[in-house]
Structure 1
């Protein structure tokens, strides 16, 4: 078995200063690399795809806590995945567009013109939490607590503070417990939303347990708030750098769906995902034993020159099937269509309302740190 001497330090100042650049370098120099922090990291597109598609050799059951369904393998995963996919069917997603557009237009109209703003705190985070609560049927009073919860969860994950992570998970359980209790007490008059639907759902002939419902909603919330915030920041930053592309998309909004996917290929909103080996494997010339942690570096795989010619180039003619933005295989993101709708609508409203979006000279953005991506602060001006 391969000696586990570290090949790199993913928490070094050099890596954290520019994660995308650092991962590009690792893909060229050491495409399968070991570190004490991440275990084995895969940087090449072909290696990441192999791990995604081989769920027998690379298990998703990596968490010590129940994680429905992302932390499950078939056949258990299949049952829960179908349950969630029903809530994200095309008809449900399409029906959400008017409310999504109303929320987007309200937030865009509230932004000051000609003044410096922090697009992350004053726009992207607010959009993510409002859109999440609206889709799940949660009350507005949860907006601020959820924003604080996401930040504490991120800090604990970054520090690998398992005690804090457990306490934070229990705090989320409390929020959901209150929502579920209201719906149980309301009976037939409970709000007609996804959260209520989960109370009525069955798996293998029995109702979903409280723990299962909380896990589903926790995974949904973390995925939505963190990645949608990152996506909006990345998109606005890119268009703020390239005013020609910004104007092109303003004039041709039909190009937005493919343009959004391409910008998020260039700068991944989700840095990585995890697996664990179930048997000894050899990948990229490295021998890895059973039970080893594997980190799939999306932020590198989606910039692999072997798949994407001139990967730094913004192009609208790339093969969409190669873009791993929403994953691949049985664990591809079930909310991909919803996320695409939300991002398209918010960017349509922003480009329609603002005649020009620019970065602020002398005020560089603050890059978010692993496991987050995008920006923790993004100074911009809207005209």
Structure 2
């Protein structure tokens, strides 16, 4: 018998949007697999999310009408493309990128005011994410401003839920990438040896990658990078501004930053959710879902599940890293996790090393992001810099 469920909650209600994390905590305990008109099925518990991640035969990643390489694919297709992509994030390539990453971080921190207030997201976090992605891909500085404006329009269209505007913004981004591919083909042997050029020379299944496939790969890397890295920086700095003892401990002991970053981003997720679709009828969390049911895996809830982590807001070193779903799990675990960890470690090392104190400005309280974004679209700080 098909279930025709009534809504269990409204993800767009003021009480949810006012504090997403707290709302997801309530749902995890009240209705761990919940239906809504907006998101269809939302999965809140760690165990249920892990079940979905590990059963890709039942819970498919092919949720979009548009090609998404390899995020929107299932095995065996996903396996082939994933094998092509993983070498781009090999440890030696990530390590080789550290000096470039550090140079960008140092420049941006040094450009901050010596005293007074700073709006972190616009003046620092978003700029770091943009410049670091362009550097990794080998894109010219001339692309910084167009991408900066594009990221703003994409954010606005996504928050507004305007599908036509979102589609137009996506098409605009694709145009940038196709233009870069065209210029590199015209350059011939003079084209630089970087990530974008290497993608042009990749083959799969005995044929070259198509432009559509390259654009999809680059879109997935770039859209995720710009939004998530910027959100992560905002979350990290906000947390340290509100926990001065930990802030000072990390300033004095930067070797503690890697586990501290993962733990802070467990407490406050920079990425709210990912989507799946059922391939057959299934029961999960006491609810029956028919084939074709759409799910949202709520990372921002699963990573705070009391059954796994105890008190969700407790910061603790030494947690089992395999439980932390910051970068996902299973065959679709983020291939760029090591790169993201490097970028966040380096930027926080330089931010803390070049400041003596970070505090919030009570007169300008942080603005919380609303679904599907996370973090703080606006975060004003007062930074004490060494003389």
TM range (shorter): over 0.9
Distance 1:269 1:244 in 2: 23
Alignment of 1:212-361 (within 5 A): 212-361=213-362
Deviation at 1:83, TM superposition (A): 1.1
Deviation at 1:146, TM superposition (A): 1.4
Q: Aligned with 1:192: secondary structure?
A: coil
Counterpart secondary structure, 1:26: helix
1:142 to partner: Cα distance: 1.4
SS of the residue corresponding to residue 367 of structure 1 reads coil
Local SS of the residue matching 1:229: helix
1:189 corresponding residue in structure 2: 190
Aligned to 2:77: 76
**Deviation at residue 271 of structure 1 after TM alignment:** 0.3
1:38 aligns with 2:77: no
Contact 1:113 1:381 in 2 (8 A): no
After TM superposition, the structure 1 = structure 2 runs for residues 20-39 of structure 1, keeping only pairs within 5 Å, are: 20-39=21-40
Structure 2 counterpart SS, 1:78:
helix
Bigger mean CA deviation after superposition, 130-139 or 145-154:
145-154
Q: Is the 8 A contact 1:60 1:72 kept in 2?
A: yes
Q: Within the alignment, does 1:122 sit opposite 2:130 as a pair?
A: no
Deviations 1:201-247 (A, max 9, x none): 00101000010000000110111000000000000000000000000
SS in 1 for 2:309: coil
Secondary structure of 1:64's partner? coil
Q: Which residue number in structure 1 is paired with residue 151 of structure 2?
A: 150
How far apart, in 1, do the equivalents of 2:97 and 2:75 lie?
30
Q: Which residue of 1 aligns with 2:375?
A: 374
State the Cα deviation string for residues 141-164 of structure 1 (Å, max 9, x = none): 111221222222233233332222
User: 1:362 is matched with which residue?
Assistant: 363
Aligned-pair distance for 1:287? 0.4
The 1-side partners of 2:379 and 2:117 are apart by 10
Aligned residues: 383
Number of the residue aligned with 2:110: 109
Aligned residue in 2 for 1:59: 60
Aligned-partner Cα distance in 2 for 1:293–1:159: 21
1:114 Cα deviation from its structure 2 partner: 2.2
Show CA shifts across 1:182-203 (max 9, x none).
1101112111110000110001
CA RMSD of aligned residues (A): 0.9
CA distance in 1, matches of 2:201, 2:15: 50
Equivalents in 1 of 2:372, 2:143: separation in Å?
A: 24
* Alignment partner, residue 205 of structure 1: 206
C-alpha contact 1:154 1:371 (8 A) present in aligned 2: no
| Counterpart Cα distance in 2 of 1:114 and 1:8 | 45
Further displaced range: 240-249 or 139-148:
139-148
What is the CA–CA distance in structure 2 between the aligned matches of 1:316 and 1:113, rounded to whole Å? Answer: 32
TM-score computed with the length of structure 1 as normaliser = 0.99
User: How far apart, in 1, do the equivalents of 2:293 and 2:98 lie?
Assistant: 42
Q: C-alpha distance in 2, partners of 1:258/1:244?
A: 16
Gap regions ≥5 residues in structure 2 = none
Rounded to whole Å, the distance in 2 between the matches of 1:208 and 1:302 is: 36
The ranges of structure 1 where at least 4 consecutive aligned residues each deviate by more than 4 angstroms after the TM superposition are none
Distance 1:230 1:140 in 2: 22
SS state of the match for residue 306, structure 1? helix
Q: Distance in 2 between matches of 1:55 and 1:151?
A: 34
